[in-house]
Amino acid sequence: MERDGYAKSESVIGTDSKLLVEIVQGCLVNNREAQRKLYQHFYGYAMSVCVRYSKDAEEAREVLNDGFMKVFTKLKQYDQNKPFKGWLRRIMINTALDNYRHNLKHYHSADLETAPPVADTSDVVSDLNYEYLMELIQQLSPAYRTVFNLYVIDGYTHEEIAEMLNISSGTSKSNLSKARANLREVLKKNRVDELEQYI
């Protein structure tokens, strides 16, 4: 084992372990090896956040790389008494939202009105596995996907979402309802398709 501790396996790095503290210290002095270790260790977690807000894996990687650039440039602002993973998550979400706002002019506002009215208010997330849910969420329009992720997955309130996206809380609630309605429609269609292959 090397003296600086960087030779340890990636899986040994806990989210707030002594080794993580050493790696963060290395990143603070622009140590390239420390930056590589931090990037590699948190790549999977950061990607899981970014992919929820992106239309595809390519866009998610762009958001992730932009997010890590912010992590490295803003690392001095990180309070080392708090969990690093939470700080990183917030940066990735904010970077994804920046990307959403930047691309907003390219999205068609028409898709905000395409969902049918919501008749059933049951929660669509129950009984779904995570990977399948992520695939379905990525099929939503950018506006629906963003609000759904912020509210259902990341736990923000409609008031917080409204402030983050510069929309009204009513629009946030409406987008969430329409996102759920769209997900229900996709689920119904997929179940019919699955049944048809056995008929």
Domains of the chain: 12-107 (1.10.1740.10), 124-198 (1.10.10.10)
Which amino acid is located at 145 in the chain?
R
pLDDT band at 91 (very low <50, low <70, confident <90, very high): very high
Cα–Cα distance for residue pair 60/100, rounded to 1 Å = 11
**pLDDT of 96-140, one tens digit each?**
999 998 887 665 444 444 444 444 434 444 445 777 878 888 889
> Residue 17: pLDDT above 50?
yes
| Mean of the per-residue pLDDT values of the chain | 81
Closest CA to 145 of 160, 129, 161: 161
Report pLDDT for 179. Answer: 94
**pLDDT of 30-66, one tens digit each?**
999 999 999 999 999 999 999 999 988 899 999 999 9
In which element (H, E) is residue 185 found? Answer: helix 169-196
The pTM (predicted TM-score) of the whole model is: 0.71
Query: What are the angstrom distances between the C-alpha of 99 and each of 70, 72, 168, 176?
Result: 13, 18, 20, 20
Cβ count within 10 A of residue 186:
16
